Amino acid sequence: MTEILDQIRQRFGAEWQHVQRPDLLQIGVDAKKVVPLLTWLKEHTPFVQLTHLSAVDWIEEGQFQLTYLLTDPTAHVSLMVCARIDRDAAEAESVSALWPQAVTYEQEINEMFGIRFPGSPRQGVPFILEGWDDIPPMRRDFDTVAYMNTRHPPRPGRKHTDPRAYVGQVFGERGFLHDD
Amino acid sequence: MPFVVKLGWSLVGVVAAIAYGLTIGGLIRKVMARIQGRIGPPVWQPFIDLGKVIFQRTATQHGVMFYLAPIFRAGGGMGLYLLVPVIIGVPALENFSFNGDLLLVMYFIFFGSLGMALGAAEAGHPHAPIGISRGLSQMTAYELPFALAMVALAAQVHSFSIREIVIAQQGSVLHWNLFANPLAAAAAFLAFLGMNMYSPFNIVGAPQEIPVGPPTEYNSKFLSLMMSGRAILAVAKIVLFMDLFLGGAHSLLEVFAKTLVIYFWSVFVGAVFPRFRTEQSIRFFLGWPTVAGLAGVLLVLVR
Amino acid sequence: MATTTKKKLPVFEPPAGSLAHAPLGQGCFLGETERLQAPKLKEALATIKNWFRANSLWVMAYGTGCGAIELRPLVTSRFDFERFGMAMRPTSRQSNVLIISGYLAVKSLKRVIRAYEQMPSPKWVVGLGSCTINGGMYWDSYNTINRLDLYLPVDMYIAGCMPRPEALLAGFGDLMQRIKRGEANGWHHYLENFDWYKANQKKVITDWNMPDYNW
């Protein structure tokens, strides 16, 4: 099924591509080409279903990556379309006109990462976090332990154990029980 | 027997009927548990539930009809019980049967659900009207075969008095209306499944869809009145059916045996059937049970 | 913000003033909280009442977290909690025990508080799993609470992740023993320290749009 990657490269141009498994193909495209590419994939290829839409925070490079997971339901092949957007002005074009389920994914990404999808309904409507007053929590510069210590302080007298040290004590250097 | 003494004995009978109804409930839970391969609660568990519910503090109430609804339900049950003779030949337990009480019996059965409907109007949440609209529409459907069966029996005996119907069934087992007019009995017993609101006709109080529907907001003493009302309504119905179709009873042992058989009929049907939707149950009751009832009436007229 | 073109169904409202209703305040307990009963009345029949309550625990069928997956086998034939008189009730008005099964997100906490306050009064809270005790697996999550007893009075903790049905049966047995001894008075503690609980709850639930006490 890797012909689809060649077709995408010919029509739209790609930054990178990778075949992780015979049924999982990955391709990286420019952010401006995402919606035309997804429209072409939905209308003219077997990849008709949007299975997932998620985001990755590449904080060192100052970018967010949006990952669209499309599926071919008859051949059971998945295609990941990855696009990078700028981290400070985090905006991407909405695909909710192609698939109505994208509205919920974009609502969640807006709440968790702060990426705006202009034109998508329910942007800014709280999904899981009601009354959230801090930065979007899935961003890597959000310190969840510090937030936990202020908002949900642990029970006094709680002992903290570093998992690596504990595993080393019980299971030895190799990290598992060995009998030789 | 002077009226006051008879009334006293009847009220003792009411209390005994409530206890009997609760015990039957506990017995049913034990039997269902054993069918499902587990131990199940003790047989006196409904008494413990009733006691716990009485000792709760009331969380909230919603107005006049909220108070009155369980009273209507218990009142319907008590009225029904006071009209059916329990044991023929023992004046203390014959209650107040008179000519025409067969029609009054149908009214009292309806009155119980009417009480629930009035309470559902002031229940304070939207699930109650949903549940009660389903229950009342189902009730109008099963009233039809039940009324036809009553008419058939009354035409057979030329009287609207339950006591007359019981006396007409004496003699031998074959004189029981179950065998003398089997079509009317079939119609009435199928309507009985709807009356008990047990599976497959328990869409009224479907616990997963609408949290038990009408009784959702009832707590503490309201709930205790509803539980005892349900118990006495159940007992009164099975005693009524025993009188109408199984020849009445001459001793307490006969009462227990015959009423348990009638109650287990609905339990065993309920154990094997899933729940019907409202339109399915209405379509069912207006189908074969009504045909059986009509045929029963025609049978009596022709004979 | 553009909206999708969805056809709005027409809504007809009744003319103003045409619906008569009872004035608010009649039967509503706005602005009030529940009050404790006089203690002398409780001591007289306490043993009998507690015996009835312990032998007929009705659990509210509300699975707040992943621990609820161990509640389902408890109801079925193998472990069968009905033999102890326990039953699942779908409504908070008719239940006595609220089981917080596992982690409690802040969003669920708001609904759980409402359900807890709507339960009639001898009521108990059972915390299932480590997440209610000290945060458990989700101790560093921004969205889950770490100590359940800051927000609700807990009568019994059952440790584990998640506790198996045998552990649940042991825990419920202990709860019944505590109720019979008269030691399980979480609802007392809640009403006596109501302001403290409410302050804790409002610290985590920032968009409080409910009454202070939900009858």
The C-alpha R_g of chain A, in whole angstroms, comes to: 21
Handedness of CA C10, C11, C17, C18 (dihedral sign): positive
Structure tokens at A150: 């202020």
Q: How far apart are the C-alpha atoms of B204 and B214, rounded to whole Å?
A: 8
Going along chain C, which residue ranges are E strands? 58-60, 87-89, 97-101, 124-128, 156-158
Please give the pLDDT value at position C67. Answer: 87
Cα within 13 Å of Cα(B158), Cβ side: 0
Contacts of B65 (CB under 8 A, 6+ apart): B118, B119, B121, B122
Residue B56 and residue C83: Cβ atoms within 8 Å? no
- Mean of pLDDT over chain A: 90
B137's CB contacts (< 8 A; 6+ apart) are B278, B282
Contact C53, C181 (CB under 8 A): no
Q: Which residue of C has its CA nearest to A123?
A: C1
CA distance C78 to chain A (A): 35
Integer-rounded Cα Rg, in Å, for chain B is 19
Flag if C107 and A129 touch (Cβ within 8 Å). Answer: yes
Measured between beta carbons, the chain C residues lying within 8 angstroms of B41 are: 82-85
Contacts of C146 in chain A (CB under 8 A): 148, 152-155
Q: Distance (Å, rounded) from C-alpha C3 to C-alpha B274?
A: 44
Gap between the Cα atoms of B204 and B207, Å rounded = 9
Chains A and B lie in contact, requiring 3 or more CB pairs less than 8 Å apart: no
Note the pLDDT tens digit of each residue in B63-119: 777 788 888 888 888 888 888 888 887 777 777 777 788 888 888 888 877 877 787
Q: Which residues, at least 6 apart from C100, have a Cβ–Cβ distance to it below 8 Å?
A: C64, C65, C112, C125, C126, C127, C128, C132, C148, C152, C154
Residues B183 and B292 sit within 8 Å (Cβ to Cβ): yes
Residue-wise pLDDT for B126-165, tens only, equals 777 787 788 888 888 888 999 999 999 888 888 888 888 8
- Kindly state the tokens that stand for A72: 């071919």
Q: Which tokens hold the place of B226?
A: 């509803």
Check residue B270 and give its pLDDT.
82
CB contact under 8 A, B57 and C120: yes
Which carries the bigger pLDDT value, residue C21 or residue B38? Answer: B38
The DSSP code for A116 is: B
pLDDT of residue A178: 61
**Cβ contact (<8 Å) for C77 and B38?**
yes
Whether chains C and A touch (3+ CB pairs under 8 A) is answered by yes
Is A131 in the C-facing interface, judged by CB distances under 8 Å? yes
**What is the model's pLDDT at position C1?**
43
Verify whether the Cβ–Cβ distance C93 to B217 is below 8 Å.
yes
Confidence (pLDDT) at A24: 94
In this predicted structure, what is the pLDDT of residue B164?
Answer: 86
Reported as a single tens digit per residue, the pLDDT across B241-266 is 998 898 888 888 989 999 999 998 88
Encoding tokens for residue A78?
């998945």
Identify the residue whose tokens are 């339950």.
Answer: B162
Q: Is C3 in contact with A147 (Cβ distance < 8 A)? A: no
CATH topology assigned to domain A3-128 = Beta Polymerase; domain 2 (3.30.460)
Q: Is there a contact between B261 and B25 (Cβ–Cβ < 8 Å)?
A: no
Mean predicted confidence (pLDDT) in A8-25:
92
Residue B198 has pLDDT above 70, yes or no: yes
Q: Is the distance from CB of C138 to CB of C102 less than 8 angstroms?
A: no
Distances (CA, A) of C55 to B21, B50, B234, C183: 20, 11, 25, 16
Least confident of A96-110, B34-48, B168-182, C29-43: C29-43
- pLDDT at A128 exceeding the cut of 90: no
Look up the pTM and report it: 0.84
Neighbours of B121 (CB within 10 A): 15
- What span, in angstroms and rounded, lies between the C-alpha atoms of B15 and A180? 77
Computed over every residue of chain B, the mean pLDDT equals 85
Binding partners of B (≥3 Cβ pairs within 8 A): C
- Put simply, the answer to whether A128 touches C204 (Cβ < 8 Å) is no
Taking the domains of chain C in order of start, what are their residue ranges? 39-203
Distance, in Å, from the CA atom of A7 to the CA atom of A10, rounded to the nearest integer, reads 5
Sheet bearing A77-86, strands edge to edge: A16-21, A24-29, A77-86, A63-72, A49-58
pLDDT number for residue C2: 45
Of B1-5, B183-187, C119-123, minimum mean pLDDT range: B1-5
Token duo for residue C165: 């049905």
**Who's near A167: CB < 8 A, 6+ residues apart?**
A175
Residues of B198-207 as b/e, b for ≥16 C-beta within 10 angstroms? Answer: bbbbbbbbbe
Q: For the segment A68-123, what is each residue's pLDDT rounded down to a tens digit?
A: 999 999 999 999 999 999 999 999 999 999 999 999 999 999 999 999 999 999 89
Contact C162, C129 (CB under 8 A): yes
Q: Which residues of C touch B37 (CB under 8 A)?
A: 77
Residue B166 has pLDDT above 90, yes or no: no
Q: Are C200 and C151 in contact (CB under 8 A)?
A: yes
Q: Name every residue whose Cβ is closer than 8 Å to that of residue C202 and which is 6 or more positions away in sequence.
A: C208
State both tokens at A74: 């008859």
Averages of pLDDT over runs of 10 residues in chain C (215 residues) are 59 64 55 66 78 93 89 90 91 91 92 92 91 88 91 93 92 94 88 92 88 81
**In the CATH scheme, what is the code of domain C39-203?**
3.40.50.12280
The interface pTM score, or ipTM, of the predicted complex is 0.81
Sign of torsion over alpha carbons C155, C161, C167, C168 = positive
